[in-house]
Amino acid sequence: MSTEYDLPRKEHIDVAFYAHDNAFFTAARFEVTIHERLQKQLDNAVKWFKFWRLQINPLKTQAIIFHKKRYALRVATPQ
């Protein structure tokens, strides 16, 4: 049986676990770098979840970007 700690991680990505929840996070100077890193991590995670026959609930999935700018950043979320 696999554990969440077997979840493959990409470079510059940190993962936090709480119960059955996972959080991927990274920091970078440019927003595009953050998007690229997180997308690669999510692609790997999806493969891992499929391998272990686990499902991601899109209703409980969200992307949050924290930044120092005064305007809101828009993030496209999958349907």
Residues 6+ apart with CB under 8 A from 10: 37, 40, 41, 44
Question: What is the arithmetic mean of pLDDT over 31-56?
Answer: 89
Does 74 reside within a domain?
A: no
* Structural tokens at position 62: 């969200």
Q: What are phi and psi of 18, to 5 degrees?
A: -150, 115
> How confident is residue 67, by pLDDT bands cut at 50, 70 and 90?
confident
Residues 6+ apart with CB under 8 A from 28: 12, 34, 37
The residue segments making up the domain with residue 48 are 4-60
Residue 47 has pLDDT above 80, yes or no: yes
The CA-based dihedral angle spanning residues 39, 65, 78, 13, taken in that order and rounded to the nearest 10 degrees: 20
Does 72 reside within a domain?
A: no
Give per-residue pLDDT as tens, 20-36: 788 899 999 888 899 89
- How many domains is the chain built from? 1
pTM score, two decimals? 0.72
Does 76 reside within a domain?
A: no
How much is the mean pLDDT over the chain?
80
Does 75 reside within a domain?
A: no
